[in-house]
């Protein structure tokens, strides 16, 4: 991504390869030193990145984590859905921790807004689904994308034609009342609040399509920060246990108004084992003491919700499928240090479904239910790798684990996370 290379005039992209929480934030933070613009393209404040810099822990939910670099401009792109009170709360928290974001944070005028009624509806919807609930973060993201798809959504630019804003808000709230009954929601107070929020937001609002294309044309280095991950993609994830946007490479184009010809490096972030939050299939899940050990050593508890994450071994069926869809040019393997404590490490290489060997991820959840997972067992290294700063310093068994993954995927592993801190990363 250095100036003068072929990647100039193309965006670089960081995407989650599994079910999220792979540690994308740390890579973005490291890359942010060499970029001019950091962009979010989809999702909302249901994502959670934690970045530790100089002993300070920053929690990002909706804002691009490039903000930790004081020279980096950050853009919330058109495909993101934004709950404005949360946008300002997150900004205030970051500024209270000493990050000056003034003049370097922008939001697309095409972003759809998430309202409190969307959050109420999120809870009511999950309640209706009962035991089959998706396990959403109840932040109203899904209902806001539903409003968008049903063409009754409200976008940022509507705030500046307030009559239109008011008409649309009243219409959509009545429709939700008809559908979900008379839940408590003070439309008059909400209108007041959004009149003020709109004014507060004004300095941040841009036409992000034109803005990004101009930045690209000027040779600026742009990094797109994916939220959630491929297995939560609305189309290619474990539907319906997915998020409500396209989290794969397609979402980068549709969420930003960028053609595929403008996409350069696509870096897939893969945790050295697998975790998942919420409901839905997870073939390599371990519900035993080994799973609990992964959870404890890996501190696998959600940033946004605090929920314990489900844990299991690395699944190459998932990663191969993820790579087919996103076409990774390199991989960042994260949290490899968490595996330091295991005598042996398993890796899923195929499933057996109805007597047949399956090497790509199936669409049908019922098929997955009955799948037997076939593992290869590799020897552990039983050594603390957190001080290693080059591939050669890693124990031989640890190197072999990385090579095994690399060979299977046919994608080079270019970064290896060996601890939570910014400096605890091996670049190859």
| Region of 313-321, 340-348, 388-396, 414-422 interacting with ligand GDP (CB under 6 A) | 414-422
On whether 213 is known to bind a ligand per the annotation, the reply is no
Distance between CA atoms of residues 170 and 155, nearest Å = 14
Out of 19, 25, 84, 243, name the contact with ligand GDP by CB under 6 A: 25
Distance between CA atoms of residues 245 and 75, nearest Å = 18
Does residue 331 interact with ligand GDP by CB under 6 A?
Answer: no
On whether 173 is known to bind a ligand per the annotation, the reply is no
| Region of 128-136, 354-362, 373-381, 418-426 interacting with ligand GDP (CB under 6 A) | 418-426
DSSP-derived pairing of the beta strands 372-379 and 314-315: unpaired
Minimum CB separation from ligand GDP for residue 299, in Å?
A: 6
Peptide bond into 240 cis (omega under 30): yes
Out of 13, 15, 16, 120, name the contact with ligand GDP by CB under 6 A: 16
Does residue 303 interact with ligand GDP by CB under 6 A?
Answer: yes
Q: Which residues pair with 374 in a beta bridge?
A: 350
**Is the Cβ of residue 25 or residue 255 nearer to ligand GDP in the bound state?**
25
Strands (E), 166-262: 205-206, 222-225
**Is the Cβ of residue 17 or residue 147 nearer to ligand GDP in the bound state?**
17
Residue of this chain nearest to ligand GDP (CB atom): 417
Known catalytic residue at 118: no
Q: Is 164 helix (H, G, I), strand (E, B) or coil?
A: helix
**Is the Cβ of residue 338 or residue 368 nearer to ligand GDP in the bound state?**
338
Does residue 13 interact with ligand GDP by CB under 6 A?
Answer: no
Peptide bond into 330 cis (omega under 30): no
Does residue 326 interact with ligand GDP by CB under 6 A?
Answer: no
Known catalytic residue at 21: yes
Does residue 276 interact with ligand GDP by CB under 6 A?
Answer: no
CA torsion sign for 22, 25, 29, 35 is positive
DSSP-derived pairing of the beta strands 49-53 and 274-276: unpaired
Q: Which of residues 30-49 bind ligand GDP (CB under 6 A)?
A: 48-49
Q: Is 157 helix (H, G, I), strand (E, B) or coil?
A: helix
Maximum distance among all Cα pairs of the chain, rounded to whole angstroms: 67
Does residue 24 interact with ligand GDP by CB under 6 A?
Answer: yes
Q: Return the H-helix or E-strand segment holding 256.
A: helix 249-256
Distance between CA atoms of residues 105 and 87, nearest Å = 11
Out of 338, 388, 394, 411, name the contact with ligand GDP by CB under 6 A: 338
**Is the Cβ of residue 308 or residue 362 nearer to ligand GDP in the bound state?**
308
Distance between CA atoms of residues 422 and 151, nearest Å = 42
Does residue 21 interact with ligand GDP by CB under 6 A?
Answer: yes
**Each residue of 290-316: b (16+ CB within 10 Å) or e?**
ebeebbebbebebbbbeeebbbbbbbb
CA atoms in the 13 A half-sphere facing the CB of 70: 5
Among residues 61, 118, 138, 148, the one annotated as catalytic is 148
Among residues 10, 29, 49, 118, the one annotated as catalytic is 49
Known catalytic residue at 49: yes
Catalytic residues: 21, 49, 148
Binding site feature residues for substrate: 303-309
- Residues annotated within a binding site for GTP: 20-26, 48-50, 309, 335-337, 417-419
Q: List residues binding ligand GDP (CB under 6 A).
A: 16, 21-26, 48-50, 52, 303, 334-335, 337-338, 417-420
């Amino acid at each position: 991504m250095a100036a003068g290379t072929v990647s100039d005039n193309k965006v670089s992209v960081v995407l989650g390869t599994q079910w999220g929480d792979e540690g994308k934030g740390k890579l973005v933070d490291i890359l942010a030193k060499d970029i001019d613009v950091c962009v979010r393209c989809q999702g909302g404040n249901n994502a959670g990145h934690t970045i530790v810099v100089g002993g300070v822990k920053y929690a990002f939910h909706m804002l691009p984590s490039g903000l930790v670099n004081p020279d980096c401009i950050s853009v919330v792109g058109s495909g993101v859905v934004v709950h404005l009170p949360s946008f300002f709360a997150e900004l205030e928290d970051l500024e209270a921790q000493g990050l000056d974001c003034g003049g370097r944070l922008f939001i697309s005028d095409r972003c759809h807004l998430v309202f409190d009624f969307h959050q109420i509806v999120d809870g009511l919807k999950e309640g209706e689904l009962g035991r089959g609930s998706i396990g959403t973060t109840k932040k109203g993201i899904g209902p806001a994308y539903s409003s968008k798809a049903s063409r009754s959504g409200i976008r940022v630019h509507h705030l500046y034609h307030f009559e239109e804003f008011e008409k649309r808000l009243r219409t959509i709230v009545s429709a939700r009342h008809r559908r979900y009954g008379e839940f408590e929601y003070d439309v008059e107070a909400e209108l007041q609040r959004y009149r003020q929020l709109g004014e507060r937001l004004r300095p941040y609002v841009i036409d992000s399509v034109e803005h990004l294309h101009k930045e690209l044309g000027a040779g600026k280095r742009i990094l797109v920060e994916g939220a959630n991950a491929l297995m939560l993609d609305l189309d290619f994830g474990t539907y319906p246990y997915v998020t409500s946007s396209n989290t794969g490479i397609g979402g980068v184009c549709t969420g930003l108004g960028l053609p595929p010809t403008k996409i350069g490096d696509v870096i897939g972030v893969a945790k050295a084992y697998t975790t998942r939050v919420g409901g839905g299939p997870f073939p390599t899940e371990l519900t035993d003491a080994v799973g609990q050990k992964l959870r404890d050593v890996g501190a696998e508890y959600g940033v946004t919700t605090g929920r314990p994450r489900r844990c299991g071994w690395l699944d190459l069926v998932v990663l191969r499928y993820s790579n087919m869809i996103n076409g990774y040019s390199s991989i960042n393997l994260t949290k490899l240090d968490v595996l330091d404590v295991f005598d042996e490490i398993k890796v899923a290489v195929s499933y057996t479904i109805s007597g047949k060997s399956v090497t790509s991820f199936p669409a049908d959840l019922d098929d997955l239910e009955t799948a037997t997972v076939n593992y290869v067992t590799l020897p552990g290294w039983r050594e603390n790798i957190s001080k290693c700063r080059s591939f050669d310093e890693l124990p031989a068994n640890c190197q072999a684990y990385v090579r095994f993954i690399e060979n299977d995927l046919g994608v080079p592993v270019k970064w290896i996370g060996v601890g939570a801190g910014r400096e605890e990363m091996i670049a190859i």
